[in-house]
Structure 1
Amino acid sequence: MATSRRSKTSARERLGTYRAKRDFSLTSEPAPEVPASRRGSSPIFVVHKHDATRLHYDLRLEIDGVLVSWAIPKGPSYDPADKRLAVQTEDHPLAYASFEGHIPEGAYGAGDSLLWESGTFDTVPPGQASEQLARGRLHVALNGEKLKGEWHLIRTRPVGKKAQWLCFKAKDGTERPGYDVTEERPESVKSGQRVTRGPRRTRRTSAPPARAKRPARRKVQARTPGALLEKVWAPMLATLAQVDATEGNDWRFEVKYDGFRALAAVQGERIALQSRGGKDLSARFPAIARALETLGEHEVVVDGEIVALDAQGRSRFQLLGKGAEERFVIFDVLWLDGEDVRSRPLDERREKLEQLLARVKPPLELAERVGGSAKKALAEARRRGLEGVMAKRVDSPYTPGRGADWLKLKVQANQEVAIVGFTPMANERPELGSLLVAVREGDTWHYAGKVGTGYSTKVRRELRTLLSRDVVKKSPVQDAPLVMDALHNEEAFWVKPRYVAQVAFTEWTEDGRLRHPSFQGLRTDKRPEECVRERPRSTPVRATRGPHRRTGTKARKSTRAAGRTSVARKKDPVAPSAAPVVLTHGDRVLFPEPGFTKADVFAYFRDVAPLMVPALEGRPLSLQQWPQGVDAPGFFRQEVRGAPDWLTTVCIHHETRSLTHVVVDRPESLLWLANQSAFTLHTWSSRVPHLEEPDWVVFDLDPGPGGTFDDLIQLATSLRRHLEALELTSVPKTSGKRGLHVLVPLAPGHTYEQVRAFALETFEALARKHPELATTERSKDRRQGRLYLDAEQNAWGKTVVAPYSLRALPHAPVSTPLAWSEVTSRLEPRRFTLATVRRRLDKVGDLFAPALAGGQKLPGH
């Protein structure tokens, strides 16, 4: 084997540049003489996520006793067509492979350096690292946690003392176009840290000599922030769409925030903050206005959303102005230092925005991107309890008005509606019973229905007082019911359309009414005339532009490697909405003791569908059916038979056979099950198409034959404290019988093996702490009446009873989500029944939503 000239140079000599650039009394980086700890004989590689002058990724390969290093600004890509710039930097010592920390201000490379990836590598063919490096053509096979498969590193030309290379994925079967590993897996493999902190920028306290000439360097000089906003007005708007509309193009996805759209202009210490309709927002949000002054080094116009955050950090429109933490989430830049950048491609504007906001702190925030395909991005939003995602075409300019380059993909539908009337509370209290709402069609109002849920008592009274001032004799809506009391047995008051409400709903009916609408709040930033029915686009947006400016290749449909589980879906992705489910034999009594009929169960599932569907979507189900009622024998089914064509099903290959499971992804699916008397639903902990990745850890606590409910409460409380000590949030719910379920929501990427191991470790710790109450002993003879803690509920294919599911007991109990403050000795699960749960939901809302939020990693992962 030939020996390269480089290999003859000692490692100490090759690390001279590394040593000369660093003051080891200042930085915690390892000095060249620090020995490296090794495991195994294979060459190692690491990738550091380094937030220095700008965020970049440092790839380091062990070659000839040192870590040969390249700075890759965009990080590695799984797309062979995406050739990333890689600038070769100084060699690093092998001890650097375990380094992670903050390089202090004033030191070379100041900022956070996270150990983003580590593993072993070899060349293709093996053992030729020195020779390939000398030739400037490295072909490496990486075996890490995030990077697996083959990559090419090709030297192009030297620039000064640094050589430029191209880094790109080899076509070896592991490529994944459309998968952004840096966005999907931002965390450190050493500490789990996700967010980086760069060097502090010192703000100038006095103007430099060149400042007087600054206007001459700008293309245009606006005199005031308000005038600057006018120069780039109006805002770009998005079109409501379905996932299929993103097919065949290159898209980026961001979290869809639920708040007030706002544009801000900054010039020095002067700012303008306006709503989409041009209203001044600086007085209403003074903290945000003050925070924008920190951008005063630049003349800039940015676009974003003012939001209020709930306890899980999610934006909630209804919390604005209610004392919740407020943020200005910025997602675009329109003007920067004298230049109108709206014509620049989206990715270029995003790059400028990231640089602009690199050092901002709350209440300013950069909009979060979501990796993967549209389906995966929307599934991630659903897991986290978000409103949805924004799909933006990578090469699109910022164009005023509504178009097809920005698309809104929603988890749950919502709509802005004009308030055209109300009905009072039936009990004669001075409260509003429901809102009567409409949408604009041309020059007329179209009646959109009644909104009767989503209000607190305080809001009902405030709305009644507010709307009573605008009562008119004649309805402003042409197609509204002429006699409301004849239709609904209620008195109606019509009002002049002056206010806009935002409502969540499940779908539009054929006659243009909102199905299951729920009030979310008033929108003071919108005019009633803007309330036009949003119709989602389903046809793909055609690409009209030429080759992508960076890769020189046409945008193409994203593909993703199939998971280990073979799954076949029975649902046409562009199938029309399901036909209404017709109830049959509604008078059949299913719960004889309280007298609840099949019609009562059907109505219950219809009412709780807005809460159950998000929890069940994508999850295979097993069913318990009770066609003759709970006093007669029932049936347990994993496989569904005789399903209508529109019902989503999933064929899963189990160890010995394939089974077709039903998947609930719309209210009609629940109603179809109710009509089959299948009202006890058992759900998987993972979703299609990622059935190998559970969304949560399940802790199933059941007092068993000899245990008491007080024992159960004591164990549940102890479990909660144990999880909180690990900084893990958990969500309790009743099983519907005597037990409790405690769920720990997880970020994507965990396996069932990891989750089961964590559950077993936690249960063993709980059993050691309470040996008189609980045990992990499998043998019933050895349990001695103690509560059995079973971690096997966290195995692939195991199920847990779904939230809000009915159980087949005489009093019609419901598996009901709880607040931890309710898990005390006073808790009585028997009171959560078909007769009481709906009233409870009106009062407490959806307590299960945090279980869908995800975002948590288990210790050591």
Structure 2
Amino acid sequence: MGTYREKRDFSRTSEPSPEVSAPAGGGVFVVHKHDATRLHYDLRLEIDGVLVSWAIPKGPSHDPADKRLAVQTEDHPLAYATFEGRISEGNYGAGDSLLWESGTFDTVPPGEASAQLARGRLHVALHGQKLEGEWHLIRTRPVGKKAQWLCIKAKDGTERPGYDVTVERPESVKSGQRVTRGPKRRTASKAKAKATPRLRSPQALLARVGTPMLATLAQVEATDAADWRFEVKYDGFRALAAVHGGRVALHSRGGHDLSERFPAIAQALEALGKHEVVLDGELVALDAQGRSRFQLLGKGAEERFVVFDVPWLDGEDLSPLPLEERRKKLEGLLARVKPPLALAERVEGTARQALSQARRRGWEGVMAKRVGSVYAPGRGEAWLKLKVQANQEVAIVGFTPMANERPEIGALLVAVREDGAWRYAGKVGTGYSTQVRRDLLKLLSRDEVKKPLVKEAPRVRDALRHEEAVWVKPRHVAQVAFTEWTEDGRLRHPSFQGLRNDKRPEECVRERPRETPVRRGPSARGPHRETGRKARPGKRAAGRTATARKGAAGEPVVLTHGERVLFPAVGLTKADVFAWFQDVAPLMVPALAGRPLTLQQWPQGIQAPGFFRQGVESAPDWLTVTRIRHEARLLSHVVVDRPESLLWLANQSALTLHMWSSRVPHLKQPDWVVFDLDPGPKGTFEELIELTLGLRRLLERLGLASVPKTSGKRGLHVLVPLAPGHTYARTRAFALQVFEALAQEYPELATTEHAKTRREGRLYLDAGQNAWGKTVVAPYSLRALPHAPVSTPLKWSEVTRRLDPTRFTLETLRRRLDKVGDLFAPALEGGQTLPSSS
């Protein structure tokens, strides 16, 4: 215990001191997920009144073939078996330490823990929530300052080759927290100071944060298997607000500016002018009892911006923080604000108690938010909507005239989107004032069509005048309250609540509440479409016409020749490519924003010749391009700054996008150093992996974090994100210096010799990608190979000899993104400065 005590100042650390009493557990074992200098897992076994501890860098494995390194560390007191928290900066082991696993253990045969430990050969049977079965701990080096052991799964029938428990079960068994933060580094503080000037407007700050987090409709039973916090569910317009440099932006979920519609709220946000912040909340109108009512918006009722989350604050991305930490920061930020700004109201108790209170007080429902969950873009199961009264967003596809010949509608005919088509959802005849009926008639009469655009549209006639319904193009969205869905997919007793100009008709899908419990432990969801349907990896039907959100000019991006097969070997069509770019737009747009692109296009499919294209001669007016002089000629490069830009490129069969390392207007300042590693015609992938890991070690010795990704072919890219102000000359010199050091460390595998005759079959390390105008394949881009591979960001823990880049394809990657989220995001954070010696 002496070593444990010597390394810690218990007046500064939250860890328990040896004097803290703890009952003997009778064979307790725990595993801490500890994000210190590096993320690792600390296995602790109760032996002779202390917790004997080992640091396992990769965590325990269920595969007997994995021989995991386990470095024995100092013994810990028994009280550490319940410890979880953040070890503050300046202390030994600074960083988050989660109680990842706990349970009981014994040796095989029982009762020999002390003797087996002394022999350096432990055979233990663990009984926990994630680790169940037998493991061997074998000392490989004599007892010393840090004895090294191997942790190996026993072949006892519980082994699971191919199952990575640290990936599948990342959460704490105590709090459910999933994401960890390591210690703050000096470069991180510089990152805040230097990265802020890049965000030159509140609009740019909103673009940096990206798509908001969305909730899933659920029954109360869905909350039975995890820990939740509850808030009032407000009935209004979802909005994101950004404050930067004393200026304010207030946008709808779809990116529409709401400042003019809610001027008092935009003005109130200026009170936060000292901060750089993004707030997520709901714009609501209050009735006489103080309850939010969607139908009162814009009708002169008292309005509020009710804030429930803060994904960005003062230069720091808060989205990886647990829900409760973000809420604490939000409460501190809004402690002194006054109406029309307000903090979302918490509701205490269980889900059933919260919902019961919602019924008594006349609320729409409550929001259930999973404890420990991160703020992740798109729709997932960390936030659930529990409603008292059902309501649904529907597309207006027609109307019936008023029976008494007044210039009013009698009822709306509505539909929802299902499998790429409109499905009739019923007739809405109540909930209107006379003025609303007249306004709707004027609005809808502009869009009349001869035939209904609805699947299985019924023949609807007015009962008195026997006049057929008027069908219209689905351009407008209504919100309706109703009692239930009928068996044939119609709304029972629907009532009109108002128009929603913050939603697109294509987003109107039938919400089906989740009934089964959400599994314990929060998970960051990948990018789903805002319709709420999980993106399917299957193929799109040939010939389907897909329409995305509108460009700035108001014209939709329409897919043409969607039936054309671009990848014959796997049967993927242009429609599949269009759908892929649509699904990954929330991840690709932030990575590509401001960067000139070079395109690789295959309009006749990859079996026919493709071509490179730097400049575009003709493009829609709304598409952003930048004019750049290349020696004697000016070229117009496409710049992706919205999802529609990606879809336009998909319709041009631009499968592979090559991006600059710098952005407009600072094209001479790269955002990262690029290390492009390719095994070449004679090298092996195993050699490439060895070199890549060597490169990582060199960078870490320089204090530089890096982000790996596959090239989509045989190579790997490693990016070192930088703070603003670096030049291409400096990044190229640094890359060359690092590559030369790498070649010296691996002289038989790699060389920086430019002449092919002098390479002698070794992998060529080329720093030339770090030059003005040079490009690197964008993350999530497709490559023109038969199986449709994708350039895929990686965790460093995946860069091993078992890595197989060929498994990351258009058909498989959606499922991966649902699990791991956006692994490229750290490459966009910058903040690092290259060593002056470079």
TM-score, with length taken from structure 1: 0.42
TM-score (norm 2): 0.43
